[in-house]
């Protein structure tokens, strides 16, 4: 693997990293990938060839992690793959190109010049000062403006989005966009929408913890089990009072699964049962029907038994008559 840049004596040489790296890329790089990037940036100045195995030994990073790291850096356009190796990207040139790409440009200056976007500009500047210490990278202005357009968030929701990610120490674009997509899929656009959604998520979290505890799942629920609960609450509109009834039904079954519980609750939903009273009445009615059915089966079994005995006696009498004759 060959790395290219320029020549200079090692003792007096410097490895220069542009500030744009710190504002745009640093937060997204896992520690091992950062080590890989810094070292190949250093080596690229001397046009050195280095094998991946040697790079792995030098940095004390497993070979698989080296390959994964190079792929990650390439996806983030920090390096570019060639036939013989990689070229380290000029980040300043790349950022300048991205800023002035047609139809995607929305710099800080442009935002401030547009009267239509004054409130949006204030929100973005608040994000810059509050979460980036006033040195937010230029490409963030583009991305935030695109998120405003794509998701239809108002200014309060956009600020809340950054606050949410900042408090979770995940202030990088992929995570922010993932959260934004989740909010948008739940029809969050205004502060009131977000407030309702947050309350809904808090209730869901309580439901999941309560259900896990009642079922003895102390290691937590799987993703699929959580999806069942979300369906009961969000799509069926059932609260804990109804779910509790279903959970109690598991005492009649050995090793009940979530699928078993889901089948019970889905059956109630399909029957349009909406309250605990309606569900309890349905359960009682079904018990009576099952009792009637069992009694009928007993009567039928008894009748069949009596009939068989009668036929057997007839058979004996018939044989007796033949002997007398």
| Same-domain status, 204 and 261 | yes
Query: Residue 272 pLDDT more than 90?
Result: yes
| Same-domain status, 72 and 39 | yes
| Same-domain status, 44 and 67 | yes
Report yes or no: 168 and 178 within 8 Å, Cβ to Cβ.
no
Q: What are phi and psi of 12, to 5 degrees?
A: -105, 5
User: The domain containing residue 37 runs over which residues?
Assistant: 2-96
| Same-domain status, 302 and 239 | no
- The residue with tokens 């989005």 is 161
| Same-domain status, 11 and 91 | yes
| Same-domain status, 14 and 88 | yes
| Same-domain status, 10 and 89 | yes
| Same-domain status, 62 and 109 | no
Q: Is residue 282 part of a domain?
A: no
Q: Is residue 136 part of a domain?
A: yes
pLDDT for 19: 81
The mean of the pLDDT values for the chain is 82
| Same-domain status, 266 and 296 | no
Half-sphere exposure (Cβ direction) of 254: Cα atoms closer than 13 Å = 0
pLDDT for 114: 54
Q: Is residue 86 part of a domain?
A: yes
CATH number, domain containing residue 37: 3.30.450.410
Query: Residue 115 pLDDT more than 60?
Result: no
Q: Is residue 6 part of a domain?
A: yes
pLDDT for 91: 81
| Same-domain status, 35 and 77 | yes
Q: Is residue 149 part of a domain?
A: yes
pLDDT for 218: 85
| Same-domain status, 19 and 89 | yes
Angle between the N-to-C axes of helices 173-185 and 155-167, in degrees from 0 to 180, rounded to the nearest 10: 130
- Provide the pLDDT confidence category of residue 311 given band limits of 50, 70 and 90: low
Q: Is residue 216 part of a domain?
A: yes
Max mean pLDDT range (10-19, 134-143, 311-320)? 134-143
pLDDT for 97: 67
Q: Is residue 222 part of a domain?
A: yes
Query: Residue 18 pLDDT more than 90?
Result: no
In the chain, alpha helices (H): 19-24, 31-44, 52-59, 63-75, 91-99, 108-113, 118-131, 138-151, 155-167, 173-185, 191-214, 223-230, 240-249, 258-270, 276-324
Report yes or no: 158 and 147 within 8 Å, Cβ to Cβ.
yes
Q: Is residue 278 part of a domain?
A: no
pTM: 0.55
pLDDT for 309: 57
Residues 249-255 have a mean pLDDT of 78
The residue among 96, 129, 148 that closes a domain is 96
Query: Residue 174 pLDDT more than 70?
Result: yes
Query: Residue 324 pLDDT more than 70?
Result: no
Domain count of the chain?
Answer: 4
pLDDT digits (tens, 9 = 90+) for 35-93: 998 988 888 877 777 888 888 988 999 999 999 999 999 888 888 888 778 888 888 77
Assign 188 to helix, strand or coil: coil
- Provide the pLDDT confidence category of residue 111 given band limits of 50, 70 and 90: low
| Same-domain status, 76 and 155 | no
d(CA 255, CA 250): 8
Residues 152-165 have a mean pLDDT of 94
d(CA 162, CA 170): 9
């Amino acid at each position: 693997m060959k790395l290219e840049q320029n020549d200079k004596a090692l003792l007096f040489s410097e490895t220069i990293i542009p500030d744009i790296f710190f504002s745009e890329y640093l937060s997204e790089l896992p520690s091992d990938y950062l080590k890989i990037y810094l070292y190949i940036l250093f080596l690229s100045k001397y046009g050195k060839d280095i094998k991946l195995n040697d790079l792995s030994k030098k940095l004390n990073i497993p070979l698989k992690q080296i390959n994964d790291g190079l792929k990650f850096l390439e996806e983030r356009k920090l390096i570019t793959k060639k036939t013989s190796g990689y070229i380290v990207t000029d980040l300043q040139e790349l950022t300048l190109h991205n800023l002035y790409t047609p139809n995607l440009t929305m710099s800080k200056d442009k935002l401030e010049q547009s009267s239509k976007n004054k409130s949006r500009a204030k929100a973005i500047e608040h994000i810059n000062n509050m979460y980036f210490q006033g040195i937010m990278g230029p490409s963030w202005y583009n991305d935030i403006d695109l998120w405003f357009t794509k998701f239809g968030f108002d200014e309060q929701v956009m600020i809340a989005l950054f606050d949410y990610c900042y408090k979770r120490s995940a202030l990088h674009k992929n995570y922010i966009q993932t959260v934004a997509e989740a909010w948008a899929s739940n029809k969050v656009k205004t502060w009131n929408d977000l407030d309702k959604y947050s309350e809904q998520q808090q209730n869901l979290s309580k439901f999941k913890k309560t259900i896990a505890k009642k079922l003895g799942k102390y290691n937590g629920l799987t993703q699929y089990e959580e999806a069942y609960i979300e369906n009961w609450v969000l799509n069926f509109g059932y609260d804990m009072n109804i779910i509790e009834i279903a959970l109690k039904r598991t005492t009649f079954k050995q090793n009940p699964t979530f699928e078993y519980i889901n089948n019970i609750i889905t059956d109630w939903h399909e029957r349009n049962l909406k309250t605990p009273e309606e569900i309890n009445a349905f359960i009682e009615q079904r018990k009576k029907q099952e009792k009637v059915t069992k009694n009928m089966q007993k009567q039928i079994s008894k009748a069949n038994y009596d009939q068989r005995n009668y036929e057997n006696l007839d058979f004996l009498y018939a044989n007796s008559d033949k002997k007398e004759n």
